[in-house]
Amino acid sequence: MTTKLPKKICQLIDDKNIAHFATLNQDGSPHVSPVWIDRDGDVILVNTTSTRIKYKNVKNDKRVSLSITDYRNSYTWAFIMGEVIEITDIDADAHIDKMSQKYLDIPKFSGKNPIEPRKIIKIIPLIAKHN
């Protein structure tokens, strides 16, 4: 059952905080990578490329977790367990530009590579906790 994101977690996502995104490798071992995050209401958005391990992992197993720490105060944090509900390439290039503006204050993401198509991973929260 999905849960609504508390206001404090929404604020952490909306700010320039990096999240740690945990996925499961095929052998069940965890894979964690730092990611830029965004949201559409209560749906969490992670932008990646189709060549990344995290992308391959969520295609195989929809279970994920994220932790977020406030960059201004490392004692302020959130933890989210969720499930991938969709992976899309629709507007993925525009979305990475939006994330570049948010995190780098640069309107166009300079790391785009045409042989690595961008994807948006959409995640619904099942458990969301914060301090």
Residue 1 falls inside a structural domain: no
Mean pLDDT estimate for the chain: 97
Domain harbouring 41, CATH code: 2.30.110.10
Residue in 119, 118, 58, 46 with CA at minimum distance from that of residue 88:
119
Question: Structural domain tally of the chain?
Answer: 1
Does residue 2 lie in a domain region? no
Q: Tell me, yes or no, whether 43 lies in a domain.
A: yes
Residues 19-31, mean pLDDT to the nearest whole number:
98
The C-alpha atoms of residue 35 and residue 24 are separated, in whole angstroms, by: 16
CB 4 within 8 A of CB 42: yes
Instruction: Give the mean pLDDT of 14-25.
Output: 99
* pLDDT (0 to 100) of residue 58: 99
Would 114 be classed as within a structural domain?
yes
The pLDDT of 92-114, averaged and rounded, is 94
- pLDDT the model gives residue 125: 99
Q: Which domain holds residue 27?
A: 7-130
pLDDT at 25 over 90: yes
- What are 110-124's pLDDT values in tens digits? 888 888 999 999 999
Secondary structure E strands in the chain: 19-24, 30-35, 37-40, 43-49, 63-70, 73-88, 118-130
Residues 56-84 have pLDDT tens digits of 999 999 999 999 999 999 999 999 999 99
pLDDT value for 112: 82
